[in-house]
Structure 1
């Protein structure tokens, strides 16, 4: 039986750290690294993937090169995806991956898929394998590697974090509907052209009768009003201070402190969360 080893990269810190970890600890495995490209990623994501390729010494295969977000948006009559209607995840992430590995599975080969769920993420599960010869592996959970451990791996490799972590906590599309309000504000500040593009999608969707907006409860036109931006920033700083006050020191990690990032401040009424395959 032929064995295939695959590891999906989102452009985020966890999957990148897992790729580094597997290449160093399991060099005997011929792992195929892949990235399902939506065509709407941050430029910092592509830059980071290029540096990761240099570290791994092998190319990262790009899936989905011809049918990007714009293609599927047209197929869905300009209806925006939403947390309850995630056609973007299905069409741009899951289906290209399944199409890629189906010939191997159909031939009776065994496919090992490595997923970057950490030891401190008990609430998360990997993709449920529906074929006996597709085996999902969670090396970080099995080896007890948590978020500070991920940061250690990236720091030791010399890669560090993708540059967008200076202002954003996730990879994925520039207009991901799982972004929190503060991330939309920072997108406007760091990539104003991407914010303008997101607004144009929202307006086109409204003209086609789509009930969804990118950000829960308000349009991007409303969100970018100066007084609203100031309120969002102030609210975020309050939540951040509260999170720091609640944090208990970990005696096992007295030298390394994992930063409070935006996902740590997730609120049900303000976005947050994310599709696992998009931002890990």
Structure 2
């Protein structure tokens, strides 16, 4: 007997996937909504998912990896994940999603907008077909914000000081966003610092930010430098114009690598 096709929308807790869930609510009533929970997310992310779940009137299924971040950190020899070694996405996001899907034929809905020039990568399994409704229908960032405002959801609170969803220690954060974490969640900043290590024999440092430890970044003079020379998301009120603006040429830490879609949409 041929299996029926499942329709699944994977949420990150970010604006684009959340807006897509709102957008698709009445278009695909049988949609399954899932969130791959690393247990290292911001409290604001969980709060926003609860609001979204209430709006959808349908449970958002929380998927957890069989082994958590700390286990995989040991497996990878203490090497913190980076843009060139994204083991966290594979082990904590993609693998739980693919295990949930199994071998069923699935249409996976991805929140890439019409004004984004990039391809979506969620899974390479042959039974998973990706669809991009925002691209198909010409939905841009302005319309995403309108969808969220009209739904009553608005933006997640972390957008006051952060530009994307993901773990609180996500290595894709700009230095200004690390400052935002330190100021908004000092306890999480301290936990992130504990992951950084130095090999006593070789002197090699394992840090979230290339060339700088969080302890160095948190020094008052360094914080002042970051705030004075870079755009700090929480330094002024969130406005529609600021959210819509592309990253400035002076924004810190952008090395050209894009965050993993399943984490940050």
Do both share a fold (TM > 0.5)? Answer: yes
Note the C-alpha offset of 1:207. Answer: 6.0
Corresponding residue pairs, total: 255
| Distance in 2, Cα, partners of 1:192 & 1:157 | 32
The answer on whether the counterparts of 1:172 and 1:278 sit within 8 Å (CA) in structure 2 is yes
Secondary structure at the residue paired with 2:206?
A: coil
1:15–1:195 distance in 2 versus 1, CA, 3 Å: same
* Equivalence for 1:92: 92
Residues 1:20 and 2:14 are matched in the alignment: no
* Equivalence for 1:252: none
Secondary structure at the residue paired with 2:54?
A: helix
| Distance in 1, Cα, partners of 2:53 & 2:123 | 28
* Equivalence for 1:275: 260
| Distance in 1, Cα, partners of 2:185 & 2:216 | 18
Residues 1:5 and 2:3 are matched in the alignment: no
* Equivalence for 1:64: 64
Q: What pairs up with 1:114-263 in 2 under 5 angstroms?
A: 114-127=109-122, 129-131=124-126, 133-203=127-197, 206=199, 211-237=205-231, 257-260=240-243
| Distance in 1, Cα, partners of 2:154 & 2:168 | 21
| Distance in 2, Cα, partners of 1:237 & 1:98 | 37
1:198–1:185 distance in 2 versus 1, CA, 3 Å: same
1:94–1:165 distance in 2 versus 1, CA, 3 Å: same
Structure 2: segments with no counterpart, 5+ residues? 234-238
Structure 1: segments with no counterpart, 5+ residues? 105-109, 240-255
The answer on whether the counterparts of 1:147 and 1:258 sit within 8 Å (CA) in structure 2 is no
Note the C-alpha offset of 1:217. Answer: 1.9
* Equivalence for 2:236: none
The answer on whether the counterparts of 1:181 and 1:271 sit within 8 Å (CA) in structure 2 is no
- TM-score by length of structure 1 reads 0.83
The answer on whether the counterparts of 1:11 and 1:48 sit within 8 Å (CA) in structure 2 is yes
Note the C-alpha offset of 1:122. Answer: 1.4
| Distance in 2, Cα, partners of 1:238 & 1:213 | 21
Secondary structure at the residue paired with 1:88?
A: helix
Note the C-alpha offset of 1:99. Answer: 1.3
| Distance in 1, Cα, partners of 2:184 & 2:245 | 16
Secondary structure at the residue paired with 1:6?
A: strand
When structure 1 is superposed on structure 2, of 66-75 and 260-269 the one drifting more is: 260-269
| Distance in 2, Cα, partners of 1:6 & 1:50 | 18
| Distance in 2, Cα, partners of 1:229 & 1:129 | 41
| Distance in 1, Cα, partners of 2:78 & 2:245 | 29
| Distance in 2, Cα, partners of 1:11 & 1:70 | 22
Secondary structure at the residue paired with 1:182?
A: helix
Residues 1:102 and 2:85 are matched in the alignment: no
- Which is richer in helix? 1
Note the C-alpha offset of 1:265. Answer: 3.5
